[in-house]
């Protein structure tokens, strides 16, 4: 096995913090006991006890937090690890596989970033990575269906672009609309900046759209109920576990378990599967020589163009929402407003670092700007963006280190580029916001590079290169996609908001300001 594929740092996904800021009412908050003043003490055995004024003591139960309760604030040391590991882990998945081998069918969806991470770690092509994944899931673990998340992503891209364009040409468009496909960012808004919720676009993420489509289509093909289908999602970050745990309007579960590439490595180790041997087996298996045929065969019947689900989209490595919006906007100008396509160009306006940039649709004949979108990655840049939306027009100066670096850059380049001024949110129709620096290609569940040989930036570039080696899928146009989705919704009598729109929670912010301060540094 490659030295990179080590599970040593599997449990470092939650930054150590102080305490859970989520209040948990014991027994669901429904205690019948009369309210009285009590003190919490720790007894000689280390157990928490509740002592009344009269001196009677009751041993307290350990509080438990479900994934749906957790705010992803990175505030816990062990609780969230326990929660995550207990509810969405490779061990939980293996238990489910053993327990439900006879009464459930197992299906999987795999994200493009995950495939790129494994390909970079193993120094093999993405196609060979797919061979390994399919050999493992289908031949070794008995999965019935495996798809890429490309179809879910195309639907998500289309939904977001369509929604923003319709608002943009409507009466009350308030810039900017903010993408909501990154659960880390969504939970940050819900918990810390609920004033931004009206700005959040409601297009669902590829994971959740894929989950609903996959379960329903597989269930119909095998003549079983959707809850007899177990869906494993392989994603680049742990936040996707929290996204999967959010309740749907009909309380159905579209994603049963989320694991990351790092956990996949742990799974291989636990099952004593040697990855090099698996690769040789996969390469020698004639069934896996023609991968286009494999992708076709492993998708449920009526899946739209299965090969495209494994192909890529233009734009950022987080899905390309900002780019796709301008592409659809250009299409709107051509088809609805009669602008000549030849004069339309999308140009890049690089920000002060690779995690901030704008894209602009321009009419080269009239030099008119027809629309702008932006990409903002990482919480430091996000915090600057939030301040600018909150206080439009006010210069965001950033921290001292940022200001010094900025002054040095100005001296070196002779260019003025004050911190936080490279993207003006009020001028952008849509901002693609991703919690991880470098976006999803650098998700917290991706396999780390060999830190002693290569810098983390170089490693991310290597994973990005693998991601960009996935060919673009261009055979599904917006109209065909739209028709397929409408037909699917009709056939399964599902309302469009269930498939296409996410729901936000307005979470009461914690009242203990000490905890807020301690848990809100990025």
> Quick check: 187 binds ligand SF4 (CB under 6 A)?
no
> Quick check: 437 binds ligand SF4 (CB under 6 A)?
no
> Quick check: 196 binds ligand SF4 (CB under 6 A)?
no
- Determine which residue in the list 239, 254, 360, 429 makes contact with ligand SF4, applying CB under 6 A: 239
> Quick check: 76 binds ligand SF4 (CB under 6 A)?
yes
Q: Residues 322, 239: contact at Cβ < 8 Å? A: no
From the list 3-11, 20-28, 93-101, 134-142, the region that binds ligand SF4 by CB under 6 A is: 20-28
* Element at 109 (helix H, strand E): strand 105-110
> Quick check: 212 binds ligand SF4 (CB under 6 A)?
no
> Quick check: 361 binds ligand SF4 (CB under 6 A)?
no
List, in order, residues 6 or more apart from 485 with CB less than 8 Å away. Answer: 155, 496, 499, 500
> Quick check: 157 binds ligand SF4 (CB under 6 A)?
no
From the list 144-152, 419-427, 433-441, 486-494, the region that binds ligand SF4 by CB under 6 A is: 433-441
> Quick check: 134 binds ligand SF4 (CB under 6 A)?
no
List, in order, residues 6 or more apart from 398 with CB less than 8 Å away. Answer: 384, 406, 419, 420
DSSP 3-state assignment of 2?
coil
Q: Residues 323, 316: contact at Cβ < 8 Å? A: yes
Q: Using alpha carbons, select from 27, 20, 86 the residue that is nearest to residue 60.
A: 27
- Determine which residue in the list 79, 89, 129, 520 makes contact with ligand SF4, applying CB under 6 A: 79
Quick one: 217 or 232, whose CB is closer to ligand SF4?
Answer: 232
Quick one: 317 or 361, whose CB is closer to ligand SF4?
Answer: 317
Angle at which helices 126-134 and 291-298 pack, to 10 degrees? Answer: 40
> Quick check: 65 binds ligand SF4 (CB under 6 A)?
yes
- Determine which residue in the list 150, 398, 443, 473 makes contact with ligand SF4, applying CB under 6 A: 443
Q: Using alpha carbons, select from 17, 74, 116, 195 the residue that is nearest to residue 460.
A: 116
- Determine which residue in the list 2, 7, 74, 353 makes contact with ligand SF4, applying CB under 6 A: 74
CB of 207 to ligand SF4, least distance (A): 9
> Quick check: 217 binds ligand SF4 (CB under 6 A)?
no
Quick one: 21 or 470, whose CB is closer to ligand SF4?
Answer: 21
Is the bond preceding 419 in cis, omega lying within 30 degrees of 0? no
Q: What is the DSSP letter of 63?
A: P
d(CA 232, CA 105): 11
From the list 68-76, 142-150, 192-200, 413-421, the region that binds ligand SF4 by CB under 6 A is: 68-76
List, in sequence order, every residue forming a beta bridge with 410; answer none if it has no partner. Answer: none
Quick one: 65 or 197, whose CB is closer to ligand SF4?
Answer: 65
From the list 76-84, 140-148, 298-306, 410-418, the region that binds ligand SF4 by CB under 6 A is: 76-84
Number of residues engaging ligand SF4 in binding (CB under 6 A)? 27
Q: Using alpha carbons, select from 309, 310, 71 the residue that is nearest to residue 192.
A: 71
Edge-to-edge order in the sheet of strand 430-434: 177-178, 430-434, 368-377, 356-363, 344-350
DSSP 3-state assignment of 62?
coil
Which two three-digit tokens encode residue 25?
A: 């009412």
Number of neighbouring beta carbons within 10 Å of residue 243:
25
E strand residue ranges, 283-419: 344-350, 356-363, 368-377
> Quick check: 463 binds ligand SF4 (CB under 6 A)?
no
Quick one: 362 or 430, whose CB is closer to ligand SF4?
Answer: 430
From the list 42-50, 153-161, 234-242, 337-345, the region that binds ligand SF4 by CB under 6 A is: 234-242
> Quick check: 51 binds ligand SF4 (CB under 6 A)?
no
- Name residues contacting ligand SF4, limited to 296-335 (CB under 6 A): 318
- Determine which residue in the list 4, 21, 288, 485 makes contact with ligand SF4, applying CB under 6 A: 21
> Quick check: 73 binds ligand SF4 (CB under 6 A)?
yes
CA angle 233, 235, 236 (to 5 degrees): 170
Which residue shows structure tokens 């307005």?
506
Q: Which residues bind ligand SF4 (CB under 6 A)?
A: 20-22, 65, 70-76, 79-80, 83, 182, 184, 236-237, 239-240, 318, 434-436, 439-440, 443
């Amino acid at each position: 096995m490659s030295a990179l594929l080590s599970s040593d740092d599997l449990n470092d996904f939650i930054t150590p913090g102080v305490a859970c800021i989520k209040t948990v009412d014991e027994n669901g908050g429904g205690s019948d006991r009369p309210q009285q003043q009590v003190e919490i003490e720790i007894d000689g055995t280390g157990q928490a006890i509740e002592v009344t004024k009269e001196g009677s003591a009751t041993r307290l139960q350990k509080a438990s937090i479900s994934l749906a309760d957790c705010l992803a604030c990175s505030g816990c040391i062990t609780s969230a690890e326990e929660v995550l590991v207990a509810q969405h882990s490779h061990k939980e998945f293996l238990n489910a596989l053993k327990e439900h081998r006879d009464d459930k069918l197992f299906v999987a969806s795999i994200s493009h970033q995950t495939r790129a991470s494994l390909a970079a770690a193993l120094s093999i092509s993405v196609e060979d990575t797919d061979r390994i994944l399919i050999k493992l899931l289908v031949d070794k673990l008995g999965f019935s269906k495996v798809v890429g998340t490309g179809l879910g992503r195309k639907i998500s891209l289309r939904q977001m672009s369509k929604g923003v364009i319709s608002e943009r040409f409507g009466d009350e468009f308030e810039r900017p609309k903010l993408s909501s496909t990154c659960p880390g960012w969504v939970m940050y808004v819900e918990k810390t900046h609920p004033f931004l919720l009206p700005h959040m676009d409601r297009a669902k993420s590829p994971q959740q759209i894929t989950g609903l489509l996959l379960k329903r289509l597989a269930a119909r093909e095998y003549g079983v109920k959707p809850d007899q289908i177990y869906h494993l999602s392989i994603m680049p970050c742990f936040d996707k576990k929290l996204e999967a745990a959010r309740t749907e309007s009909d309380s159905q579960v579209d994603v049963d378990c989320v694991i990351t590439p790092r956990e996949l490595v742990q799974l291989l180790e636990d099952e004593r599967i040697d990855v090099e041997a698996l690769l040789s087996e996969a390469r020698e298996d004639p069934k896996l020589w023609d991968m286009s045929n494999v992708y076709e065969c492993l998708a449920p019947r009526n899946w739209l163009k299965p090969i495209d689900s494994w192909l890529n989209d233009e734009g950022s490595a987080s899905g390309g929402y900002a780019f796709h919006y301008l592409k659809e906007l250009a299409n709107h100008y051509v088809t609805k407003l009669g602008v000549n396509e030849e004069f339309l160009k999308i140009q890049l306006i690089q920000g002060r670092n690779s995690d901030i940039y704008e894209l602009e649709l321009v009419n080269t004949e009239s030099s008119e700007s027809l629309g702008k979108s932006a990409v903002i990655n990482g919480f430091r840049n996000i915090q600057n963006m939030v301040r600018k939306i909150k206080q439009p027009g006010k210069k965001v100066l950033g921290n001292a280190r940022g200001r010094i670096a900025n002054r040095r850059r100005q001296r070196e380049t002779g260019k003025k580029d004050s911190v936080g001024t490279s993207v003006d949110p009020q001028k952008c129709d849509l901002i693609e916001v991703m919690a991880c620096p470098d976006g999803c290609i650098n998700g917290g569940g991706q396999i780390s590079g060999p830190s002693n040989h290569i810098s983390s930036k170089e490693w991310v570039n290597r994973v990005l290169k693998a991601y960009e080696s996935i060919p673009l899928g261009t055979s599904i146009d917006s109209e065909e996609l739209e028709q397929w989705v409408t037909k699917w919704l009709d056939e399964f009598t599902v309302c469009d908001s269930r498939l296409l729109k996410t729901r936000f929670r307005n979470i009461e912010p914690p009242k203990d300001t000490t905890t807020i301060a301690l848990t809100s540094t990025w």
